[in-house]
């Protein structure tokens, strides 16, 4: 399955590029920093090829910034979870069912304008604990905007909370983007 994460920085100026990426064989594309401003934005629909759906998150207090979009194949079973609005990051959680396999995609965007704080970790652990109750593996992807020198701090802060419930199956860090695959411990 082809999954990719991209900080798009304004979908309106990248419609053709996003459309092309999806058409090049992706099954799921997570976009951060979309700046799409409204639900049902025309650029979001134009970037979506036939046979795909999307779920989005629009930043309510600052419509010209932030935002998340997850594009995925129309034949995937899905359920979007209603999560609380967090102070330190934007998020979308979707349970996918693909050929009998289920997992939860947790897409996150933490604005680079905010200082990293203990509240960020508290909120992140909170959403992960909630998803634990759903008894599924989690693919967490996002632009965390954590500078390289702070990755050690991030890891030390999250590891004890995360590994109470999950086994780390995959970790990829590139710049401020982090992709983590967690398998629920039984």
Q: Can you give the pLDDT at residue 27?
A: 97
What's the CATH number where 30 sits? 3.60.10.10
User: What's residue 38's pLDDT?
Assistant: 80
Q: Could you give the CA distance from residue 124 to residue 140 in angstroms, rounded to a whole number? A: 11
pLDDT in tens, the chain (186 residues): 899 999 998 999 999 999 999 999 999 999 999 988 887 789 999 999 999 999 999 877 666 677 899 999 999 999 999 999 899 999 999 999 999 899 999 999 998 877 777 788 889 889 988 888 887 889 999 888 876 555 555 556 555 666 666 777 777 777 667 777 777 666
The burial of 51, by beta-carbon neighbours within 10 Å (0-12 exposed, 13-18 middle, 19 or more buried), is given as: exposed
The residue range of the domain holding 43 is 3-184
Total structural domains within the chain = 1
pLDDT of residue 170: 75
Q: Are 58 and 39 in contact (CB under 8 A)?
A: yes
The whole-number pLDDT of residue 155 equals 56
**pLDDT value at residue 147:** 62
Contact 68, 35 (CB under 8 A): no
Pairwise CA distance, residues 56 & 38, whole Å: 10
Question: Which residue in 101, 86, 98, 110 sits closest to 32, CA to CA?
Answer: 110
Q: Give the dihedral sign, CA 143/144/148/152.
A: negative
* Residue 139, φ and ψ in degrees, nearest 5: -105, 110
């Amino acid at each position: 399955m082809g999954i990719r994460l991209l900080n798009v920085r304004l979908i309106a100026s990248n419609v053709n590029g996003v459309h092309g990426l999806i058409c090049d064989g992706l099954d799921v594309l997570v976009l951060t920093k979309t700046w799409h401003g409204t639900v049902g934005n025309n650029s979001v629909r134009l970037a979506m090829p036939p046979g795909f759906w999307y779920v989005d998150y629009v930043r309510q207090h600052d419509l010209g910034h932030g935002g998340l979009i997850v594009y995925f194949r129309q034949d995937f079973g899905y359920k979007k979870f209603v999560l609380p609005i967090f102070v330190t990051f934007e998020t979308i959680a979707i349970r996918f069912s693909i050929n009998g396999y289920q997992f939860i995609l947790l897409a996150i965007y933490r604005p680079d304008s905010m200082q990293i704080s203990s509240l960020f970790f508290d909120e992140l652990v909170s959403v992960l604990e909630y998803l634990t109750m759903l008894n599924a593996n989690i693919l967490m992807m996002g632009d965390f905007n954590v500078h390289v020198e702070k990755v050690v701090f991030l890891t030390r802060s999250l590891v004890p909370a995360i590994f109470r419930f999950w086994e780390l199956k995959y970790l990829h860090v590139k710049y401020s983007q982090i992709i983590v695959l967690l398998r629920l411990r039984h």
